[in-house]
Every structure is written in structure tokens, then in C-alpha cells.
Amino acid sequence: MNESTPSDTPSSDGVSGVPSATKSGLMQLVDLDSEHPATKAIGTALMRLKQTAPDSVISPPHIHVTESSVVAVVRRHDMWEQARQQLDDVAAELQLDPNAHAMLRHPKRTLEVAVPVRMDTGKVQVFQGYRVHHNLYRGPAKGGIRYHHEVSMEEVKALAMLMTWKCALMNIPYGGAKGGVVVDPSKLSDGELERLTRRFTSEIMPIIGPDRDIPAPDMGTNAQTMAWMADTYSMTIGHSVPQVVTGKPVSIGGSLGRTEATGRGVSYMAAAIARERGLNMKDLRVAVQGAGNVGSYTARTLQEMGAKIIAISDVHGGVFNGDGIDAAKVFNAMGPKSKLADFCPGEALTNEQLLTLDCEILVPAALGGVITEANAGEVRAKIIVEGANGPTTTEADKILHQRGVLVVPDILANAGGVTVSYFEWVQGIQSYFWELDEIYSRLNRIMQKAFAAMWELSEKERIPMRSAALRIAVGRVADAAKQMGLFP
């Protein structure tokens, strides 16, 4: 286990030279700084593409490499610096106690593990895994586990910090955590995924537990992953401890409503901002990037509320249908490994085109760092509701603000998931389970309360919603830090 020791000096410089490099093309970027993690990630992605599809790098349209897609990859690897910069800005605005500020700039604990897995071929493959606790002043650590081939320690640290702010904004008693494994889960068999999950759980056992750190699903993981984690933990401890994770199947102590909670919460927040802007649900045209847990339930719920879903995408690309996509029909027909385009009739479009569609509401619900300085000027949506974590970079945020595009920030918009995870944890500890209508109504109440506080501050101070949400959240964590004092 490493206690991380990053520099104490606030820094605002991202990847120096990268934006200009992206203008002159991907290959020059790869040549630019071979040691930078973003450059390495792009290099690795290119190598993989060269092996799997030798023609793809040099012959579009198999791979669509544009300036904004390269900037997006670079920015994802910049997320930790951006998260810290965000904190520094809020600390200055709140005139935060410098001692509390200094402590909040560091993750409390970072753990990097090797995860050896016997593959179906009989060979052993070693995967890289991470778990980070950002802060524990307000309660045990809470945060998802991501399986994605681009996961990095920097990204996990940034996402753990975001979880601290998210839990504080929702006023639920947790600190922030995040975890991940560098793997493309679509390339593994079910057996390989189970062995990977069980070994990863075993490797992070020293820092997880029902009153220490409670993982949940994120990109590339789901209720089945959580069931394997709960079983591995319980078998090791010697008795049943399902409360060690949330987002479990209902049959082993999961909560009703958890699967759809994040997408439902995104929809509540889309409806709340539409209400403030005087927009009717039936007049809303919505584009959703991502057709996984968050994207699919956002599309389904907004459709139920009367909005028209005009575009959705997955990793392979998007589908546009100006007459409206029947999200319920599409997602009822799809299985976990289905390709969206095979089930969703409409015109094909790229993930980048989807981000700049003419619509009232854009919901990025896939990866972080997709709305960047390279495409923010082209966004035509009136409102962005962030289903994904960190989809908008700091530079893009400024451009969108100047252009009058409203952004409902991730730490509020996608907080439905962690809120119902909290309900699941509470129900598990009490061994007393609630009805679905009770869960939805409690979720709505908590989210509307957080929205109202953020909106009021944003209007009063004439600041973007993200700044208002962060001021509330960071203020609460700093207050907890002050009350706790410094050990020893």
C-alpha cells in the first residue's frame, strides 16, 4: 500500500504543448513526449489497433481520429490536475483554511495492485488494478469500480475526489473513493471476468469493508460484478457480509431501484433545470452519449417523462432519429453485449457528431473528458446534464459558460446512483428493505433539495452551477475537517 506523496504546490499547467500538437496531428503528438501518460495511452491504443486491425490507423473510416478525439484522450489523463485545479479555485473563492485545503489536495490512501488471472487458454495474464480513498472526514469511503482499458491511477484519484464532493453535496455520510482495473471487459469470457473480479477483490481486501470502504458498479461493471465481490469478501471473512458492496442483485440484499437510480437521477435533474428555464418536457429533444447503465436508464426515464430522444450512442457510434427513438423498446430488446446500432433504427452518426447535435438537452453518459476546448464551441445543446463523471474539461466549461450553455454538473446530475447505494447500505445494515415507491420518493427528495441549494447559490452569486455545487460540497468537507481536527 502506498501513502501517496504528491507535491504540495498547486499547479495549473496541464499537458504543456498538447493542444498545439493535436492541431498538427496524432502521430506528432505521439512523438511529442513519450513519457507523458496520455502519450503512452494513445501509443498503446495505436499499437493495439495495429495488431487487431492493421489498416485502421491509416485508413478512415475504420478509426475516426480527429483533433477533439485526441484532446479528449489527453484530457482524461489530465483529470487529476483538473480536479485539483477545481479544488484550488473553490478554495480561493471560499477563502478556505489553507491547512484544510492542503489536506484535501491529497488522496488519503492509494493502492495499486497486480491482478494475475488464469485465462481460458491456460496462460496467466496480469492486469493492473487501483483503489483510492480520497477523504474520510464525513464517513467511510464510497465509490465505483471501473473496468476499462484506459483506466489510470491519475483518473482514479480524480474520480475519488469527485466522489468526496458528490457525497457531501448530497449530504450523505461518506467520503470519496474509486477503483479500477485496466481491462476491456468485452474481450474477456464470463469465467475470466469472474476470476479477475475475485482476485482484484482479494487484492484490495485490506482497505475495503462495510464500515471502511464500500465499492459499487461503474463503467464496465454491474450487479454481477458486485455479487462476485460480496461473495469473495464473505468467503474470506468466513461469514456473509453483503453490505461490503452496493449495486448487488436484489436477491442477495441489493436495493430495489439501484440499477436505474443514476439514470433516473439524471432525468430528475434534467426536468428540474428544464422547469427553471420554462421548458416543457414534451418540447425537449435529448441526445444521450452512452447506452450502458446510465445512458439507457436516462433515455428510458426521460422518454417516460415526455421528452423526445433524438440520438443515442455506444462505443461503436451513434444513431440519430429526428422522429424520436423508442428507448424502452430498444433497451428491452438489447442484451448486455449487444451493439446499439443492431437494435436502434435511424441514421448513423459518430460519437463526436452526437455531442454537437441541435437539441435542448445533451447527456454525456459514457467517458470523461469528451467535451473539450476543441469541440465546446460547436455544442448546440442549450443544456448539458452530466451523466458521466468528468465529461467536461475546465477549458470547455469556460467556453460553454461564455456561450450561455447551462451545465448541470456531474456531482449532482449523476448522484442518484450513490444516493440509492446509500439506501442499499442502510437497508442492509438494518436488514429491513423498502418498497420501490419509497426509494424513488426519497431519491427525488434528496436530489431536489441538493438542486435547490445549488440553483439558489448559482443565481445569487451569478456563478455556473458547477462552481455553486462545489462551493457547497467543499465547504461541508472543510467544515468536517475543522471539527475533526488533526490526528495525533
Q: Would you please indicate which residues are annotated as catalytic (active-site) residues?
A: 178
Q: How far apart are CA 421 and CA 215, in angstroms?
A: 9
Least CB distance from residue 226 to ligand NAD, whole Å? 11
Stretch of 53-61, 190-198, 229-237, 386-394 contacting ligand NAD, by CB under 6 A = 386-394
Whether 409 and 466 have beta carbons less than 8 Å apart is answered as yes
As to burial, measured by CB atoms within 10 angstroms (0-12 exposed, 13-18 middle, 19+ buried), residue 488 is exposed
**Helix 436-461 / helix 416-430 crossing angle, nearest 10 deg:** 140
Residue placing its CB nearer to ligand NAD in the complex, 160 or 367: 367
Q: How far apart are CA 165 and CA 408, in angstroms?
A: 15
Residue placing its CB nearer to ligand NAD in the complex, 110 or 298: 298
Of 68, 414, 419, 458, the one binding ligand NAD by CB under 6 A: 414
46 interacts with ligand NAD by CB under 6 A: no
179 interacts with ligand NAD by CB under 6 A: no
Measured CA distances, 472 to 93, 100, 142, 224, 454 (Å): 11, 15, 19, 35, 7
Site string for ligand NAD, 253-292 (x = CB under 6 A): ---------x--------------------------xxxx
Residue nearest to ligand NAD (CB): 292
Nearest to 366 by CA among 313, 310, 318: 313
Q: How far apart are CA 215 and CA 225, in angstroms?
A: 10
314 interacts with ligand NAD by CB under 6 A: yes
DSSP 251: G
> Alpha helix (H) ranges present in 277-359?
293-304, 327-333, 351-355
Least CB distance from residue 255 to ligand NAD, whole Å? 12
Cis peptide bond prior to 488, omega within 30° of 0: yes
> By CB under 6 A, how many residues form the interface with ligand NAD?
25
Take residue 6 and report the three cell numbers written for it.
504528491
Of 232, 353, 375, 389, the one binding ligand NAD by CB under 6 A: 389
Of 111, 181, 388, 400, the one binding ligand NAD by CB under 6 A: 388
Of 19, 37, 176, 217, the one binding ligand NAD by CB under 6 A: 217
Least CB distance from residue 224 to ligand NAD, whole Å? 12
Least CB distance from residue 314 to ligand NAD, whole Å? 3
Measured CA distances, 262 to 158, 269, 292, 364, 472 (Å): 20, 11, 11, 13, 21
Residue placing its CB nearer to ligand NAD in the complex, 197 or 289: 289
219 interacts with ligand NAD by CB under 6 A: yes
Q: How far apart are CA 364 and CA 219, in angstroms?
A: 13
Of 351, 372, 392, 394, the one binding ligand NAD by CB under 6 A: 351
Least CB distance from residue 156 to ligand NAD, whole Å? 11
Give CA 238 to chain center in angstroms. Answer: 33
393 interacts with ligand NAD by CB under 6 A: no
Of 214, 367, 443, 469, the one binding ligand NAD by CB under 6 A: 367
417 interacts with ligand NAD by CB under 6 A: yes
Take residue 341 and report the three cell numbers written for it.
446500432
Whether 179 and 129 have beta carbons less than 8 Å apart is answered as yes
C-beta atoms surrounding 192 within 10 Å:
18
346 interacts with ligand NAD by CB under 6 A: no
DSSP-derived 3-state class of residue 473: helix
313 interacts with ligand NAD by CB under 6 A: yes
Q: Could you list the residues that contact ligand NAD (CB under 6 A)?
A: 217-220, 262, 289-295, 313-315, 351, 365-368, 387-389, 414, 417
